[in-house]
Every structure is written in C-alpha cells, then in structure tokens.
Amino acid sequence: MPRAIICLLDSVGIGGAPDADHYGDQGANTLGHIAEWAASGKADREGLRSGPLIVPNLDAMGLGAAVKLSTGTLPPGLSDTPKGGCFGVGREVSRGKDTPSGHWEIAGVPVPFDWGYFPQSEPAFPPDLVAALVNRAGLPGILGNKHASGTDIIAALGEEHIRTGKPICYTSIDSVFQIAAHETHFGLDRLYEVCRIAFELTEPLRIGRVIARPFVGEDRNSFRRTGNRRDFAIAPPEPTLLDRNAAAGHQVYAIGKISDIYAGSGVTHKIKGTGIPQLFDKTLDALEMAADRAFIMTNFVDFDSEYGHRRDVPGYAAALELFDRRLPELIARLRHDDLLVITADHGNDPTWPGTDHTREQVPILIFSPALPMGEIGIRPTFADIGETIAAWLGLAPGRHGQSFL
Ligand SMILES: O=P(O)(O)O[C@H]1O[C@H](CO)[C@@H](O)[C@H]1O
Ligand SMILES: [Mn+2]
Ligand SMILES: [Mn+2]
C-alpha cells in the first residue's frame, strides 16, 4: 500500500518565474547562483566548505536538469542527465512569494486572495493596531515598528528591549507581524500570549502569520534566536491534501514548521524539530512509523531562515551539501510503492539584494522504486504536486491541479 513523503527545502528556488519582474526578481535563481558562486570560489568559508557545489544525490534525481528546464542554463557542476526518478519544474499561481502561499498551493490550494502587507514607511503598523496590542497585552509599548531583518533588529534593539520590557515588532515584504522577545527577561509564555493577541488583531487585515521570535543572550554580541519560534497562521481557505488524507482516515505526519503553516489542519501527528540533521532524523523516524496511505511532510526551514534571509552563500551551499549527503538514507528506506517528492515553496537567492524571498520556480524531484524515469515538464501550478500525491494515495481528485503520473 502506498505512502508519500514531501521533503520541502524551504526557499530552494531554481529561477525562471515568468512573473519575476513584477516582484523586482527577474534573474533571481537561488540554486543556480549558489552553484555559480561555489564554482568560482565565492562560496568558500574556512572550516565549513570550499569549491564547487557537491550535491550528487539531488543531481541524480534531476536537480541540474530541473534548473536547466527552468532557466535554460545548466549550473556549473550539475548534470542535465538524471539517473533515476522524474524531474520537473513547479510554477506558482498564488501571488504571494511567501511560505504559506507556496505550501498551501503544493497541498492543492492556491491562494485566491491578496494578503495584507504593511508599508515600507515608518512606523509600519497602523497606530490603532499598536494601541490595541499594547492595551490588551498590558505592554509598556513596542520597539521596532518597521521592516527589518530579524537578526539585525535583535542586535540593534535587544538591549533596549531587555531594559524596557517592550517587545520588538517588525515585518518584511511577506504578510507577517513578527515579535521578538527575550526568552527569560520577557518570558517565552508571555511572548506566545502577546502573539496570540496580535494574531486576533491582525487576522482581519489578512496578515498571514504572527511569528514569535524568542531569543537568548545578554548583549548584542551574544543574542541568538532559539528553536522556540512559533507561527500563528491563518488556516487555508479550502481543505488541503493534509485535510483530505486525514478525512480519509489516514495518517498525516507534519514535521518541523509544517503544522504551523497549515494552522494544524489535517495534521494527525505533529513532530517538532530544528536543524537539518534533526529534521532529517525525524523524517526517517516517521517513515518507520507510517502506516499505509500515510502522508509525511517535512519543512527544512534552515535553507531559508539561516542562509537565504541572511544572504549567506557558503552557509546555504553547505546546507545543501549536508542535505544531499543524507538523502541516500531516505531513499534506501523507501518501500516499493512509497513516493518521495523533493521540492520548495519559493526562492530566497542569497546573492540577491535585500534580505527577502525571491519569486522563482521550484524543482520537483520525484522518486519511487515503483516509478520509471521521466520528465514532467514545467507544471502550471504547484497544486499538481498535491494532486499527484492525492492520486498516489488513492484520494479523489481535488479542485486544483492535475496529477502528473
Ligand atoms: O529576518 P527574519 O526574522 O528571519 O524574517 C524572515 O522570516 C519571515 C518568515 O519566514 C519572513 O517574512 C522574513 O521576514
Ligand atoms: Mn518558505
Ligand atoms: Mn522566509
């Protein structure tokens, strides 16, 4: 009996989105640029990695071929002849280049509305929203109130936050309201409670997520965000693949950020984890436990949060190489009729200006011992991924997308 697994490499885009220019992202190519920089020695970091990007296992599944299909150019060091599985390219129809938009569409539900966003001007948040938050959460005020990189703003305002007890509120070009606060000086539970109130206040503005960003350390040189991040997210507007599989009585394993991204909907087994090695281990554990017709989905967030937003090319390259080294362990554990999909939700080109996501197409790499090699072309919506898995698991077709098998 079949099972299906998605390893979602958060932000590992492969360029080529036809609407990239609407976002100022024409030419962005997360994977392609990392490979180029690595090949020219610009992704070297002592003690971490050096030289060309080494990802033979992803490449054997068609990563290089997918980038070539997406952009017309084969990145240096990659191959355009896969050794197994099916490869293709996913194109997003949802207008947001954010994590929920990408994930929901992958699970069969393109986002039919425009998210709310906060302006680049300062203050970024409407005064009545701030007043309501301060009042309801009993806060002495807030800090930040602007677009920012999360690590930069903690370095800049963390000491003042500890002194004043005012949480640091910031946003980005995504539909987010983020709150950074110290785990002990402010308190983790208090931070979550402030976020819960903020979520109630921002939901009518169609803000996709309120994100708790706890950190530790005593000064700007030692502040460090912890794994206790929590996302308070709007629920998808229609039943996703997760809901459909759970409603059919089958298991749905949500590993890492997945449960938060779908607001817990359709999740039967929520598994926490941080960092690529641990998330990989949890994926192997889930595969061990998973019953027939189970769906397992893991979000590997570090590509995005630790390296893409931080514009850290060597770090991103090393993370790809780490994932690639582990991949054979997963493939070796697949049963005959298990289906593995490796894909991404958007781009976050670490060579691009700024610190935000980039509008890109994504790789779709599919492997099953039961599946012959093939190419599935450029798919007009990420929802084709969800429909393929739905068909594989024996679910009725959904409203969006088509199976490519
Ligand atoms: O700079 P940090 O706090 O990592 O924020 C990033 O993380 C958010 C959620 O993925 C994005 O909207 C982006 O702003
Ligand atoms: Mn993402
Ligand atoms: Mn991100």
Q: How far is the CA of 357 from the centre of ligand 3 (A)?
A: 6
Does 356 carry a binding-site annotation? no
Nearest CA to ligand 1 atom 3: 150
Does 357 carry a binding-site annotation? yes
pLDDT of residue 1: 85
For the CA of 171, the closest atom of ligand 1 is 14
Q: How far is the CA of 342 from the centre of ligand 2 (A)?
A: 14
pLDDT of residue 51: 98
Q: How far is the CA of 372 from the centre of ligand 2 (A)?
A: 30
- Residue pair 21/4 in contact by the 8 Å Cβ criterion: no
Number of the ligand closest to the Cα of 231: 1
Nearest to 194 by CA among 227, 232, 225: 232
pLDDT of residue 405: 87
Nearest to 359 by CA among 12, 9, 10, 19: 19
Q: How far is the CA of 255 from the centre of ligand 2 (A)?
A: 14
Q: How far is the CA of 16 from the centre of ligand 3 (A)?
A: 19
59-110 tens-digit pLDDT: 999 999 999 999 999 999 999 999 999 999 999 999 999 999 999 999 999 9
Nearest to 178 by CA among 229, 250, 244, 238: 229
- Residue pair 272/298 in contact by the 8 Å Cβ criterion: no
Does 19 carry a binding-site annotation? no
Q: Which residue out of 178, 226, 307 has the highest number of ligand 1 atoms within 8 Å of its CB and is therefore the one to mutate?
A: 178
CA pair distance 166, 186, nearest whole angstrom: 9
Does 114 carry a binding-site annotation? no
Cα-to-chain-centroid distance, residue 360: 13
Ligand 1 neighbours, Cβ below 6 Å, are: 99, 149-150, 172, 174, 176, 178, 211, 213, 305, 309
Residue 25 in tokens = 């992202």
320-347 tens-digit pLDDT: 999 999 999 999 999 999 999 999 999 9
Number of the ligand closest to the Cα of 348: 3
Query: What are the φ/ψ torsions at residue 246 (nearest 5 degrees)?
Result: -65, -40
pLDDT of residue 353: 97
Q: Which residue out of 98, 99, 305 has the highest number of ligand 1 atoms within 8 Å of its CB and is therefore the one to mutate?
A: 305
For 193, counting Cβ atoms within 10 Å of its Cβ (0-12 exposed, 13-18 middle, 19+ buried), the class is: middle
Nearest to 7 by CA among 245, 301, 268: 301
pLDDT of residue 38: 98
Q: What is the ipTM of this complex?
A: 0.96
CA pair distance 394, 233, nearest whole angstrom: 29
CA pair distance 57, 76, nearest whole angstrom: 16
Does 285 carry a binding-site annotation? no
pTM exceeding 0.90: yes
**Alpha helices for 166-251 (secondary structure H):** 188-202, 241-247
Q: Which residue out of 170, 176, 202, 225 has the highest number of ligand 1 atoms within 8 Å of its CB and is therefore the one to mutate?
A: 176
Does 312 carry a binding-site annotation? no
Helix/strand/coil for 334: coil
Q: What number of H helices and E strands is found in the chain?
A: 13, 14
CA pair distance 29, 350, nearest whole angstrom: 9
CA pair distance 7, 366, nearest whole angstrom: 10
Q: Which residue out of 147, 173, 211 has the highest number of ligand 1 atoms within 8 Å of its CB and is therefore the one to mutate?
A: 211
Residue 38 in tokens = 């690595």
Strands (E), 175-334: 176-182, 209-216, 224-225, 230-233, 252-255, 269-271, 295-300
Nearest to 17 by CA among 86, 78, 95, 128: 95
Stretches where the chain sits below pLDDT 70 are none
Nearest CA to ligand 1 atom 14: 172
294-318 tens-digit pLDDT: 999 999 999 999 999 999 999 999 9
